[in-house]
C-alpha cells in the first residue's frame, strides 16, 4: 500500500494488535532482533498472546522466518486460539445443561467465538499477505498452507450455515494446496502430508 506521497505503507494487518485483545499490545516496536528477543522472553513466561504479537511484527518486517521463528509463531497462535476453543466447548456444554440460562450463556459464547474469529482472521491474513509469499522453500510453503487450513477449520467448528460451509471449503482448499505442494518434497520429509480422508459412504437406503 502507498500513501499520497507515494511511500510504501505497512499492510493494515501489521498496524493492529492481536485479536483486539487488551493484554496483547506490547509497547515496544523495535527492530527485528528486539522483537525476536521479546518473543522468546514471552515464550519463557508462557505469555503466548505477547509471543504472537511480537512474531507478527517480525513477519511484517518482510524477511522470511527461519524454521525456529516460524515454529515460535505457529505455537503462539495455536496456544491463544486453543485456549478459546476449549473455553467455547465448555460454555457450549453448560448451555446445553442449563437451558433456563441459555440466553445469557449464548451471549458469552458469542463473545468467545468473536475472539476466535478475530484471531483466525488475523493469522490467515498474515499468511496470505506475508508468510506464504515470503516462503522460499517447498517445506515452508507446505507448512504455511497447512497452517492456513487449520485456522479455517477452527472457524468452521462454530460457524453456521453458509459461513460454516465457506470456512470448511476454504480449509479443504488450503489442505489440498498443501498436499499438492508436498509432492515435491522427499518421501521422508516431515512436511509430507497424508492424502485427504475418503468421503463418507452414503447412508444405506431406507426400508
Phi, psi for 88 (deg, rounded to 5): -65, -40
**Mean pLDDT for the chain overall:** 84
Q: How far is CA 103 from CA 92, 107, 120, in A?
A: 12, 6, 25
Nearest 5°: phi and psi at 91?
-65, -45
* Residues facing residue 8 across a β-bridge: 2
pLDDT digits (tens, 9 = 90+) for 11-70: 556 765 554 444 445 555 789 999 999 999 999 999 999 999 999 999 999 899 999 999
Task: Please say if the pLDDT value at position 77 is more than 50.
Answer: yes
pTM of the predicted structure, to 2 decimals: 0.81
The pLDDT score that the predictor gives to residue 8 is 42
* C-alpha distances out from residue 147 to 1, 15, 154, 193, Å: 25, 22, 11, 12
The residue among 204 and 119 whose pLDDT is bigger is: 119
Residue 120 has pLDDT above 50, yes or no: yes
Under 8 Å between Cβ of 119 and 18 = yes
SS3 content of the chain, % helix, strand, coil (to 5): 70, 0, 30
Q: Which helix (H) or strand (E) holds 152?
A: helix 138-156
Give the Cα-Cα-Cα angle 179, 127, 1 (nearest 5 degrees): 140
Give the residue with greater pLDDT, 15 vs 73: 73
| C-alpha to C-alpha distance for 132 and 18, rounded to whole angstroms | 19
The answer to whether 76 touches 48, Cβ cutoff 8 Å, is yes
User: Comparing 30-39, 44-53, 114-123, 182-191, which segment has the lowest mean pLDDT?
Assistant: 182-191
- Which grid cell is 167? 470456512
Inform me whether the pLDDT recorded for 195 exceeds 50: no
Per-residue confidence (pLDDT) for residue 62, from 0 to 100: 85
Amino acid at each position: 500500500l502507498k500513501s499520497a506521497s507515494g511511500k510504501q505503507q505497512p499492510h493494515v494487518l501489521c498496524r493492529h494488535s492481536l485479536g483486539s485483545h487488551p493484554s496483547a499490545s506490547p509497547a515496544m516496536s523495535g527492530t527485528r532482533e528486539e522483537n525476536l528477543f521479546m518473543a522468546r522472553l514471552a515464550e519463557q513466561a508462557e505469555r503466548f498472546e505477547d509471543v504472537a504479537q511480537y512474531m507478527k511484527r517480525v513477519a511484517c518486517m518482510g524477511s522470511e522466518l527461519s524454521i525456529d521463528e516460524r515454529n515460535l509463531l505457529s505455537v503462539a497462535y495455536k496456544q491463544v486460539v486453543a485456549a478459546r476453543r476449549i473455553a467455547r466447548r465448555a460454555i457450549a456444554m453448560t448451555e446445553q445443561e442449563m437451558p433456563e440460562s441459555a440466553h445469557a450463556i449464548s451471549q458469552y459464547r458469542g463473545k468467545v467465538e468473536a475472539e476466535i474469529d478475530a484471531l483466525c482472521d488475523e493469522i490467515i491474513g498474515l499468511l496470505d499477505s506475508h508468510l506464504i509469499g515470503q516462503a522460499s522453500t517447498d517445506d515452508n510453503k507446505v507448512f504455511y498452507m497447512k497452517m492456513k487450513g487449520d485456522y479455517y477449520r477452527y472457524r468452521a467448528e462454530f460457524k453456521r450455515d453458509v459461513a460454516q460451509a465457506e470456512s470448511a471449503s476454504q480449509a479443504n482448499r488450503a489442505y489440498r494446496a498443501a498436499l499438492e505442494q508436498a509432492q515435491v518434497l522427499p518421501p521422508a520429509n516431515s512436511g509430507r502430508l497424508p492424502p485427504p480422508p475418503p468421503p463418507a459412504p452414503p447412508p444405506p437406503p431406507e426400508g
